[in-house]
Amino acid sequence: MQYQIVNALGFQSLRPVQEVAIPPILDGANCVVLAPTAGGKTEAAFFPLLSQMDTHGWQPVSVLYVSPIRALLNNQEERLRSYATVLGRRVAVWHGDVSQRDKRKFLQEPADILLTTPESLEVMLMSSKVPSRRLFAGLQAVVIDEVHAFAGDDRGSHLMAVLERLCRFCGRDVQRIGLSATVGNPEEILTWLQGSSTRPGVLVSPPRPPSTPEIVIDYVGTLENAARVIAQMHRGKKRLVFLDSRAGVESLGQHLRDLGVDTYVLHSSLAPDERRRSEAAFAERQNCVIVATSSLELGIDIGDLDHVLQIDAPRTVASFLQRMGRTGRRAGATSNCTFLATDDDALLQAAALLRLYRNGFVESVVPVTRAFHILAHQLLALGQQEQGIPLADWWAWVGQAAPFKDITADERTALLAHMMAEQILVEDGGRLSLGPQGEKLYGGKNFLPLYSVFDTADSLDVCYGQRIIGNIESTYVEQQGAGDLTFTLGARAWRGLYVDWQRHRLYVEPATHANAPSWRGSPAFLSSELCGAMRDVLRDEGPAPEWSKRAESQMDAVRKTRLHQADADGQLLPETDGLSLWTFAGGRANHVVAKVLQELIGEKVTADNLRIRFRSGAADVEKIQGAMQVLAEEHRPNREDALRVVVKIAKAKLSKFQPCLPPEQEAEVLVGRLVDLGVVGDLVRRLAAG
């Protein structure tokens, strides 16, 4: 392998992370490998694994490479194929965009390295057409890219359970390697990754050379102004612009094209061919802009990139670091990021984010250990995989996965009893399989709902002739009416012609101008750390070094009008329609406190990330202060309070597997997602003292 790295691949040396990773990976340790974006993590994992593959004669499929997004798999395929080929080994990709012909070819002649997603692994395990036991009998190692994007997420819990099932298929302790650029608690991620494995765990984190990135916060006021600024900035350069919504990507892309800028857009509602066209065109051009959601935050190679711009601000420091890390890859280049704030709240959030960054803060990812809803999903999936899972055996398949570590035997019994009482599962001859209600909920489209743990809105393919542009949600079309519908997709304007509801297709023709469609999203709570930093920015005097003159001037105006909010310290402040408690505690604390206060005072109380609001009818100062004193004296809201009120916070179903859960387990899943009880306790003590 050393010979091939130098002579076939042309490496003159290895990077520090690649050097440090060799001994533990060759020794068979489970590892979390940390390095900046484009820091060589892929080679750090695969060079020693390929060496082991060659030395020990591993048979296909011996290595899985798992990524959170399909585009990253496509991007890595050619790279990994070039490495494997020098040893006479083969690489294959399997995900939803891969043709049935290519999948059949792989099943007939499996490759040594398979690139895939958690959902595609689930499909392979459940499908009667895939000989999973034979296919994965030779599995030796799993490489999980962007492991921080999995840990603490439902998809990560799903992946850990699937890995346990694969270990049972191959009958060995499979080596696990996670790759990450940015995570605040890598040791905890390593523990989560281990699962049932008894291999030693090693954190591979070589020292990083010091760097001083170029960061600017500018205030532009509107998205249209942002487009004008981007059109003028860095002409002749390749620019990547991030927004945190698909609608925003479409709107900005349209504005830039109207200004004559060579623009491409990328988000999850574009068809695969459209995404590939955007990626390829952007990689080949120089004076151009690509506008994207977080889909380009992960390690997709889109060629040499000159500048990253962020419209408004992401919700985490980790996300900001991932995005800024897309630049500065060339020798002598410097990482950079320019924030363009379109309103006062975005300006404040961006300034707070950079304050946390300067202080060395990066969010910790908290892995889930009581994922009842994912356990319910695995019960259903195992029933399909085994054509009826033995009642005495189902827990042995997944029980050692980290997401289920703290679920007790009594809780497992209660979960199973509920699913059987609701006829989601039925027992026949000591084997569990899908019951009539389970068929109704999860049996449609050949069990498609069981392949993934996330829920997707019902959508229509948008078709221009035979070409599929992407998709939009069916409810959006129904609300607007197909004949009156105009919208942008791929940053181009379209007019609806008619809907083929049987084939789930909306046929369109080009239009002259339109607005972006709307897509549903999940709750966007900011952390208590970020909200606290926003309060600190309001209290500060003077500018930060990253602020432009426009940002400095606008922040002066924001401070003049909002400093009293930051200085309130638990005092009720009058508003035009009631009273507000400016807590700066984050949505996961504010919402639960608001719901419990609502119970105590008998009037509606609302909340957002920064404050708790009492409308005019609830604006009785003495009653509110008395209720807060009660909460402080009784050490509430406590866990019981959170479990009781969390359904009101959720407002909508957060998992399609909630119907499988007893009420108390459903509430616990929601609390884990929507409530931070540690911050709640600190907040109530502070409010009572105020």
Q: What CATH number corresponds to the domain at position 167?
A: 3.40.50.300
Residue 300 clears pLDDT 70, i.e. is over it: no
Among 155, 185, 204, the domain-final residue is: 204
Mean pLDDT, rounded, for 453-473: 90
Q: CB-based burial of residue 243 (10 Å sphere; 0-12 exposed, 13-18 middle, 19+ buried)?
A: buried
What integer pLDDT is reported at residue 72 of this predicted model? 82
Is position 524 within any domain? no
Mean pLDDT, rounded, for 545-568: 96
Q: Which residues contact 399 (CB under 8 A, 6 or more apart)?
A: 164
What integer pLDDT is reported at residue 330 of this predicted model? 65
Most confident option among 69-73, 296-300, 327-331 = 69-73
What integer pLDDT is reported at residue 617 of this predicted model? 65
At residue 70 the predicted structure's pLDDT band, cuts being 50, 70 and 90, is confident
**Are 443 and 466 contained in the same domain?**
no
Residue 94 clears pLDDT 90, i.e. is over it: yes
What integer pLDDT is reported at residue 584 of this predicted model? 96
Is position 558 within any domain? no
**Are 187 and 59 contained in the same domain?**
yes
Is position 561 within any domain? no
- Cα distance between residue 520 and residue 47, in whole Å: 42
At residue 480 the predicted structure's pLDDT band, cuts being 50, 70 and 90, is confident
Q: Which residues contact 396 (CB under 8 A, 6 or more apart)?
A: 168
Is position 279 within any domain? yes
pTM value is 0.92
Mean pLDDT, rounded, for 366-378: 96
Residue 328 clears pLDDT 80, i.e. is over it: no
For the chain, percent of residues with pLDDT exceeding 90: 73
Is position 364 within any domain? no
At residue 208 the predicted structure's pLDDT band, cuts being 50, 70 and 90, is confident
DSSP conformation class of 37? T
Is position 415 within any domain? yes
Residue 307 clears pLDDT 80, i.e. is over it: yes
**Are 340 and 401 contained in the same domain?**
no
Residue 663 clears pLDDT 90, i.e. is over it: yes
Structure tokens at 678: 């540690």
**Are 26 and 171 contained in the same domain?**
yes
Q: Which residues of 203-239 are buried (b: 16+ CB within 10 A; e: fewer)?
A: ebebeeeeeebebbbbbbeebeebbeebbebbeeebb
The domain tally of the chain equals 5
What integer pLDDT is reported at residue 331 of this predicted model? 64
**Are 218 and 319 contained in the same domain?**
yes
Residue 299 clears pLDDT 60, i.e. is over it: no
Residue 523 clears pLDDT 80, i.e. is over it: no
**Are 113 and 246 contained in the same domain?**
no
What integer pLDDT is reported at residue 432 of this predicted model? 96
DSSP conformation class of 209? P
- Mean of per-residue pLDDT scores for the chain: 92
Most confident option among 140-144, 151-155, 493-497 = 140-144
CA-wise closest residue to 159 among 66, 292, 44:
66
What integer pLDDT is reported at residue 668 of this predicted model? 95
- Cα distance between residue 55 and residue 35, in whole Å: 27
At residue 666 the predicted structure's pLDDT band, cuts being 50, 70 and 90, is very high
Is position 239 within any domain? yes
Least trusted range by pLDDT, from 134-143, 182-191, 514-523, 563-572: 514-523
State the residue range of the domain holding 440: 372-450
At residue 269 the predicted structure's pLDDT band, cuts being 50, 70 and 90, is very high
